Amino acid sequence: MKIQVLGPLEAHVNGASIVPSAAKPRQILSLLTLYPGRVVPVQRLMEEIWGSHPPQSALTTLQTYILQLRRRLSAAMGCDAGTSAKDVLATRHNGYVLQIPSGCVDVHRYEELTAQGLAAFESGDNEGSARCYRQALELWDGNALVDVRLGPVLEIEVLRLEESRLVAVERRIDADLRLGRHSELIAELTELTARHPHHEGLHSQAMVALYRAGRQGSALEIYRRLRMRLIEELGVEPSPQLQRLHQAMLTVDPQLDQMAGPRRTSTFDLFAA
C-alpha cells in the first residue's frame, strides 16, 4: 500500500486506488492514514465528520463508512490475498486502526528527511542539510489533502503539516545561505516574503541574501517595508533580532559576510542576544 497526503489524497493497493469519491469516507481514510498502526477513537472520527453535534445515527453511519472502505480494500487486495480487509482496517476497542507500516505514507518519509536535515545542519554539514530538506520538500504536490473536505480534526493536522513545510523551507534556505548561494535565493525569497508578509525569518533571509549579493540598499528596503507593515497592521515593532540585523547592515558588520561561522544558528538568530 502506498498513500500520499502531501497534496491530493492518493491511496493505492496493488496499483488500484482505494480512495472513495464520497466526502466523509475520504475524511475517515485521511485521518486513519495520518496515524498508521495507531488506534483512532470512534469519538475522534465522529468529531471530524460531524463536529460537536453528531446525529443520533452517527455510530451506525460511521460503521457504514468503514464497511465501504473495507470493500474497496478487499477489491484491490484480491481474493487470493493472505490478509483480509478487516485485518488491514481493523476494529479495536472503541476505535479503528489502519494496520500498515508508517513507511507506506509519504508523511513518514517527509518527517524522516526533515529530521536528517536538521541533524546535518546542527553538525555543520550544510550540503547534506540542504539536500535532505530539498528531498523532503519535493514530496509535496500542492497543499496537504487539498481535495479532502476538512473537519475540525483534519484542519488542525493540515495546519500542522503546512507549518512544518514552511519551517523546512526556511531551514533549507538557511543551509543554502551558509553555502554562499545568496544570489540564487533572491527570486525565491522575493516570492516567499510576498506570500508571508509578516514572517520575520523569511524577511531576514531575504535581507542577508540581498546584502551578500551587493544590494545593501535593497536589503534595507526590505526591512523598511516590513517595519511599516508590522506597525500599521499589527501595531508592533520588528523583533530585537531583526532590529540588530538591520543595524549590522547599516554599520557594515563583518559578521554578515561569514557564510558559516562557529555559531550553527538560523539566519533569523544571527544577531540574537
Cβ density class 189-216: b for 16+ within 10 Å, e for less: beebbeeeeebbbbbbbbbbbbbbeebb
- Note the pLDDT of residue 261: 54
pLDDT value for 263: 55
Say what the pLDDT of residue 264 is. Answer: 67
pLDDT recorded at residue 272: 75
CA dist 212 and 173 (Å) reads 14
Listed as ranges, residues in the chain with pLDDT below 50 are none
Read off the C-alpha cell for 208. 542577508
Residue 45: closest CA among 57, 55, 32: 32
Entry pTM: 0.90
pLDDT for 193? 97
pLDDT at 200: 96
Distance CA 227, CA 62 (A): 51
Q: Per residue in 123-137, pLDDT tens?
A: 989 999 999 999 999
Q: How confident is the model at residue 271, as a pLDDT?
A: 82
pLDDT of residue 77: 81
What is the pLDDT, as a whole number, of residue 1?
A: 86
